[in-house]
Each structure stands twice: as C-alpha cells, then as structure tokens.
Amino acid sequence: MKSAEEQLSTYKSVHLNPKNINTHFIGVPLIIWSLFLLLNLIPINFFTLDSLGLNINLASVFAIGISIYYIKLHARIAIGLVMFIIPVLYTSSLVAQQSGGLWIALSVFVVGWIIQLIGHQYEKAKPAFIDDLNQLLIGPFFLMAEVYFFLGLEPELDKQITPMAVEKRRALEAERRAMSS
C-alpha cells in the first residue's frame, strides 16, 4: 500500500487550483452520500439487532472497511473521516427507507460528478482516478487532509505533500507537451 504522502501528493498534483478544490468540497460529499444510499438500497443484511436499532448491511460493511483503510493510511485524518462517514451512513439509511431512493441516489450522483468535472475545467487536468482507480478512495481523504491543513493541523504532512504534488504536476505537463509535439 502506498503511503499517505504518496497518495495525497498524487491526488493533489491534479488538484492545485483552489476553484477545483472548492468544487470537490461539494461534489465529493454528494458522490459519497449517493454511493452510501445505493449501498443501503441493496437488500443484503448481515445481521440486525432491532433492540439496539442496529442494522449491519452492505453500506455499514463498506463504511467499516473504508474506515480501516483510512486508519491504515493516517490515523489522525481517519478520525475526521469517520466523523464524516457516520452521519452520511445514517442519513443515507433514512432516505433508503423512503420511496424513490434509487432516483435520489442517481440524481445526486450525477450532480456530484458534474460539479467535479466543472472543477477539472478550472484545473485543466484530468481527474486523478483516470490513471489510478484507487484515487477514487483518496478524494475524501484528500479533502479531510485539506480541512486539517486549513485548521493548522498536520502542518508537516502539508509541507511534505505540496512540493511532491507540484513536482508530479510538472512531470505530467512535461509528458503531455512531449506527447503533443
């Protein structure tokens, strides 16, 4: 598994434009929420404890799995992500119990991706997942890291990944220029 620094710098290399990052703060949560809603709509229940109001389904198994992945990448940033995932899991579960959940999920998913693609027009760079599908999982991790950096948390991580990202971006642009000539 690549380190948090490597993953974040790769993602950040195509997310250096503040307008693009801002669109991701809208698009990524919409996409995540819609995916959790879709997972809540799949009728696979691993077990239910009605007395506790606990239902372990595909969405909650995914939430646990992705949380473990984030903890392995960077435990402190994972705490913020878990705090984000819990209400996403809960609200998507509530909507899944209503009629029209599938259409809501698909609509929110499409809107989220449109916002993402608008952001990449500002960036003039393709989305990170085009070259590495794992970067789909890094999007939320990157945004939480950006929140931490904004709050003055994890300054050493920020100092590490930003120069790495700029260097990767230069290499990508040099490669693109070489291919077009």
Q: E strands within 4-122?
A: 45-49, 54-57
Question: Both tokens of residue 116?
Answer: 């993402």
In a domain, 126, yes or no: yes
pLDDT of residue 18: 92
Matching residue, tokens 């007395």: 51
In a domain, 159, yes or no: yes
Q: Phi, psi at residue 45, to the nearest 5°? A: -110, 120
pLDDT of residue 52: 59
Average pLDDT for 71-98: 95
With bands split at pLDDT 50, 70 and 90, how would you rate the model's confidence at 54? Answer: low
In a domain, 181, yes or no: no
The tally of domains found in the chain comes to 1
Q: Phi, psi at residue 78, to the nearest 5°? A: -60, -30
- Measure the CA–CA gap between 52 and 135, rounded to whole angstroms: 36
Average pLDDT for 132-144: 86
Q: E strands within the chain?
A: 45-49, 54-57
- The boundaries of the domain holding residue 103 are 4-176
In a domain, 43, yes or no: yes
Strand partners, 54: 49
